[in-house]
Amino acid sequence: MIASNKVMDVLKGIGLNLYERKLWVALLARGTSNAGELSGIAGVPRSRAYDILQSLAEKGFVVVQNAKPIKYVAISPSEALERAKGKMEEEIATMVERIDDLKSSPVMKELNDIFNKGMKMVSSEEMTGALKGRHMMKQHMDTMFRAASKHIKIVTTAEGARELHEHHYDSLKRASDGGVKIKIATIVNDKNQDAIKALNGVADVRHMGDKESQIGGRFCVVDGKETIIGLTDPKVAHDTQHISMWSKSEHAAAKMFEPIFEMIWNGSKPAA
């Protein structure tokens, strides 16, 4: 192998598949070469090499030299990565524009009609699922906050309060400005004072005192209809290993988690 496993793993992390990684590294080692030579060096089937090298060229990692046979030219890794980054940014910008156009097009009415008809066939209790990764949980919480119409009730840790401020402040502020009542029960400490002060501007925040050892988890209830619960200890779980549960069961939201929230809330003190 030309490159170390560490290098190959890092290249995997930026979206290059196994054959792309092998062929690119092989080309870096040769400077310029054709598909047949590179397939032999990299151990990639020759029948696949042409398509994969073309993919690398489209992504900005290699330059195609119009010769017979076609040759591929390596560019410096830093330049290749910068070109690939620029290509990705262009593609993302194009996709964002298409999504925005779709959201404002007549097609959305048809999609919403299909969704609403399908929802009539599903009970709210069936709308339950596991969310893998902290990013998915944050994304779903933001969706819940934006859809809130009456109240948002949150129990969270000290670090969770900082995350609310960092990742969800804008959504919570929009909800608050729209008349949604927000309550947050958390732990106040020296590390989250700034976050607590900011959150106090959009929500009623209370300090759970020494209850963190008893209530070390996080959950959120929106409008007594929708709940999200953290299932893993955020202190030990890596972001990608974090698991949370989301449910639109009104029974669970209104009859289980809201009463639990109220007990915690009533035993807490206003945050300074």
Domain ranges of the chain: 5-75, 127-270
Cross-strand partners of 185: 155, 206
Q: Which residues contact 109 (CB under 8 A, 6 or more apart)?
A: none
Does 221 have pLDDT greater than 90? yes
Kindly report, residue by residue over 78-91, the tens digit of the pLDDT: 999 999 899 889 99
**Residue 130 backbone phi and psi in degrees, to 5:** -95, 140
Q: Where are the strands (E) in 109-163, listed by range? A: 128-132, 151-155
How much of the chain exceeds pLDDT 90, in percent? Answer: 46
Distance CA 124, CA 101 (A): 31
- Give mean pLDDT, residues 162-186: 94
- Domain 5-75 in CATH 1.20.1260.10: no
pLDDT of residue 212: 47
Whether 210 has a pLDDT exceeding 70, the answer reads: no
Confidence of residue 238 (pLDDT cuts 50, 70, 90): confident
Tokens (6 digits) for 198: 């900011």
Q: What is the mean pLDDT of the chain?
A: 87
DSSP, residue by residue, 19-43:
HHHHHHHHHHHHSEEEHHHHHHHHT
In percent, the amount of the chain with pLDDT more than 70 equals 93
Contact present, 219 and 229 (Cβ < 8 Å):
yes
146 contacts 174 by C-beta, under 8 angstroms: yes
Residue 142: Cβ-neighbour burial (10 angstroms; 0-12, 13-18, 19+): middle
Q: Which residues contact 3 (CB under 8 A, 6 or more apart)?
A: 25
Which residue in 147, 198, 196, 197 sits closest to 174, CA to CA? 147
Q: What angle do CA 32, 72, 58 make, to 5 degrees?
A: 145
Task: Read off the pLDDT band of 1 (50, 70, 90).
Answer: low
**For 127-270, which CATH class?**
alpha beta
What pTM does this model have? 0.64
Domains 5-75 and 127-270 share a fold: no
CB atoms within 10 A of CB 88: 14
